Copies of this chain bind each other. A is one copy, B any other.
């Protein structure tokens, strides 16, 4: 592989000039530039990014940590991140954190050891102070799907509270009075906020939140099934169930079918996330929609802005969810 030295020899200029041509930095005459470029082409020169990084202490790479790769979610996030960063000539190093503290920290350590210029993190288990300290002492970070107080411009977030509110509200306006709620693990920020929104909507309609009609799941399908079973078991009546994500809604739908409950006649169901495979549900699931890959893209932009000095890039830190009404929800009729 040709080095910058060979290029400089062939072009009859110094190393520095070649470097300047490569980086579009400093002044170079058009004539010299042409000579150098010709030499590069002739030698099939490809700059060694490792040497470049060592000398400049920038790696042009961004580390990304997501809980996992599979499922409907993180693929989209990653897609948004990669597209945006690649267009800017940055590399993406990706690793998984498994929503587990030790694993998340190990992942971050792993990325740091690779000298990433910045980190984009979707982490659940590590705490806010750890993140702030990390950003202060090691490397700039951008956090997706989480609010870290006093750190707002480094956070790309969905208004989960609003989402929970809208989901609930859209059921309440149809006359439902008794609502059950299947939440995600409440130590997770998004799960917690969605439930808060639910409570706010209830309050607004003069209804009391009934803790017996809350089931705390784990965002996975099976916990949605267990949730509805449990809620039915305790015998408190309800005409609609709000699920904090679509996968749990899928579980609930499955149990409803087994029990012979007609959806939406006997029970209205609403999900959250609008993941792509909800199109296969029957009846079609009403849910809360937002731009998943858009959030990834924004995280990438935030990095471009904060770290690589792309000052006039627009970054949207907060995303607004909207309601998608399909056929799993209907008016409350009868008593």
Contacts and interface: CB of A to CB of B under 8 A. Distances in A.
A130 interface: no
A160 to B, nearest CB: 22
A30 interface: no
A79 B69 contact: yes
B110 A86 contact: yes
A296 to B, nearest CB: 9
B82 A71 contact: no
Nearest to A107: B86
Contact of A92 (B46, B94, B276): B94
Interface stretch (A112-120, A301-309, A318-326): A112-120
A187 to B, nearest CB: 24
Given A82-B69, A82-B96, A54 B50 contact: yes
A53 interface: yes
Interface in A46-85: 46-51, 53-54, 59, 61, 68-72, 74-76, 78-79, 82-83
Contact of A113 (B46, B54, B250, B276): B46
Interface string A202-233: 00000000000000000000000000000000
Task: State the number of copies, please.
Answer: 2
A93 interface: yes
Interface residues of A, number: 41
A151 interface: no
A70 B59 contact: no
A106 B9 CA distance: 28
A282 interface: yes
A146 to B, nearest CB: 21
Contacts of A96: 79, 82-83, 86
Given A49-B113, A54-B51, A115-B48, A75 B82 contact: no
* 3 tightest A-B CB contacts, nearest first: A277-B277, A70-B75, A280-B280
Interface of A: 46-51, 53-54, 59, 61, 68-72, 74-76, 78-79, 82-83, 86, 91-96, 110, 112-115, 250, 276-277, 280-282, 293
Given A49-B114, A91-B93, 12 more contacts: A46-B112, A50-B59, A54-B54, A69-B78, A69-B79, A70-B72, A70-B76, A71-B75, A74-B75, A82-B96, A91-B110, A94-B94
